[in-house]
Amino acid sequence: MFNGRDDKVNRIPVFLTLTDGAVLTVSVRLPLSNRLGDALNNGDTFLDALTPTGQQQFIAKTSIKTVRSANVPRAEQLDAEAGGPGTPAFDPYAVLKVGREAGPDEIKQAYHRMARLYHPDRIASFDLPEEVMAYVRTMLVRINLAFEQIGR
């Protein structure tokens, strides 16, 4: 029976802050481009979202104040949230495989190298398990976030 949901679409977990101050943790349906920005900025009036319990909601875009990724912490949160030595944390320099002393040109070159390496279109023609494809998409998100944090 048709329930209005397509469980095979790509989604990304986010924190939505609404204009009334409420914060929702949802998984937003991504368009064919697999970009959250495209989902937020397209002509649709509502955002297709799933709650952690799997309930589908359609949230009016006009009621959204901010959107924040639920996957990767911001760089300034790392020291406070790392939890001590040896705890894995998001390090934008490690993601791009550059030293902390790297200049803007070196960071940009590393970003392009890593983005080419992990771009999902490179491996789309191979018959790979969904876990591998999800890993590649996640790595590309991490690479883009790392560049946003240190590349500008």
1 is a domain residue: no
8 Å CB contact between 36 and 30 = yes
Domain count, the chain: 2
My answer on whether 63 and 80 are in the same domain is: no
Cα 23 from Cα 63, distance rounded (Å): 11
Q: Is 82 exposed, middle or buried (0-12, 13-18, 19+ CB in 10 A)?
A: middle
pTM: 0.44
Please check the confidence at residue 140 and state whether its pLDDT lies above 60: yes
* CATH code where residue 142 lies: 1.10.287
Tell me the sheet residues that pair with 57: 49
The pLDDT tens digits of the residues spanning 100-133 come to 999 999 999 999 999 998 888 887 777 777 777 7
Q: Looking at the structure, do residues 65 and 83 belong to the same domain, yes or no?
A: no
Domain span including residue 54: 11-69
Based on the fold, state whether residues 51 and 82 are members of the same structural domain: no
Residues 96 and 133 in one domain: yes
- What is the pLDDT, as a whole number, of residue 18? 92
Model confidence at 87, pLDDT cuts 50, 70, 90, reads very low
